A and B are shown apart, each in its own frame.
Chain A
């Protein structure tokens, strides 16, 4: 089978081979650009993620695909499901927001001290109006629905999550689709096999 393909390649010449390689490379390039474009439009570096653990059951199970956005000037609220990344650990975590604090960036007190002074529920309405201003920063506490305790132990020493740790807010999901990614991560040979086969097809096909 391959002898015919090799002969066909030799007949193509330099330009022909460049054209075939271009077909392959432009498919990859357009995929990359669509991903980057989606990230810019949703304002998050990773607009689609896969759930790896069962800490959000029964809402999300392992293998679900999640769609994220990160609206720039909208404050996060208790009950939002967020994906965040703690500096120092590479894997993002998807959990629900339990508490929110709005603190004044310019204040001389430490964030922890300010956070202790403000209680969310009582001043909820006032706080929400204030949170939109640039001097106010949001501090968040999260917990997985299926976990018995909140996430303090996961924060690597921090008391509160800051807005900049949050990758995005979950807007929608697709069940089971993420298992493909999990399989490819658990069996790296599968990833190379799939890529190799796709690459071979793209190079041999001619439109």
Chain B
């Protein structure tokens, strides 16, 4: 926040994974499932260095050079290494200690088929994708053999794999635009319903028209989507490129669900960061972000414009201490959007020529000034992972501005925050209820709700926004009160119980500016809910505002659990008879301490009053114990 306004809302991770850059002797591979980079020198003979997102998943080893490596991947947990060197077979090496380390090999079952690639779906389950279908195997590392679990014949142009959901997508037919997904789970393979990507132009004669580069799979807001980068075409009626999202549910048909308007043409690449679709545009060296859950009021349903204006990724400098393997590299600014970049899902950018792997990240602070519509900004921020402090700072900013007409904005923002807050409270409550009613029944269904950063509760608002805001001298008290009332209104509207400290803040502000009549009216309409602390606070105001006494007594009366306090208040006002009548009316006369009343009566100096009170207690004693005498414990002798 101390830096001048920044416009770059995307950045490369500060700690990239560094590896030996690709060269004639060093081949580099990336495994999306384990997010590991393999640097294979001389076919593995002079070493394979595996770098993962953390040190644990980094490994270095040697293997025999048995020809050019086409594809190399560890199974989940680095248990088994699979290497493809020919188009017919895949080789395996055990990495489990105590298991034989000798390589073993598996040829594809289908005759004359070429293996396009393979994917691990588990630590010991692997899928071969050939041009004629897919083969699903279980690997037995101890026996150094594989068992075919299932296979499916189908003509395949190319394939994509989404490791998160273990779904493989196959491009079939001549044009390649019929996509067939398969899902894998615990040794089973299920065929999902296939679907067709609408091509901008139907080529004649038919030829492969859907490129692997234009399709990506990713989960957004917990749902699997196939993203299709639809380029603009001169013949079809589409002035600029767009990204079409197909929703791929576990069950049921795949549906075209969202269209992201890119409003430009050229070369694009896609990433998913924090449930945002990021579209990189190479020629302009900028990126756009889309949020498919943001409703666009002025667009047709599910057509989205970029959330923010296009900006480039934040400039990146290679760390001064360059990678040890290339010590001569100067600390130069990194060339962004380089043609040597490869982009992987969901959020990975790799520069093979420079030996860097970055994670793409969204910075929320710069978005604040780029999105003028604060309601939309809140919708956007509330869906982001690390949003809390940014949201709170936006709240402070709106309140600080004191721009004319900002109250409706404040109201909208509060309502949006409290909607999320309320949903969380409700989930929490139904969870508690379910737990109390016995965890035996359907306990699996009830999961403790996760409190995301988007849940901004009253204490967050109080600590980070409201308490400092109310102390600001330059803000008019009118505005302060309006804002507090707006927040209380919003909480009430969402049926959220307002915390006492907010009422205290309101009262403090009103008292500071001598607005007692306003306070009186708020209490009259029960805007400040009854509570003992509030009643006590009111009592303390009596010296500056006498009516507070009545307000306080009324409140204690309504609480119906504060009879003792009422008696104390009346006695302190020397209203001994009133106190006595009150305690009788609520039926507490028999148990009350006589001494307290007699003391108060004596203090008035009114002998008649003292006598009356004394007689009243004697009568009570007579009724209770048959004698007018007091119990010794009552100290009334």
On whether the two chains bind one another, the answer is no
Residue ranges of B at the interface with A (Cβ–Cβ < 8 Å): none
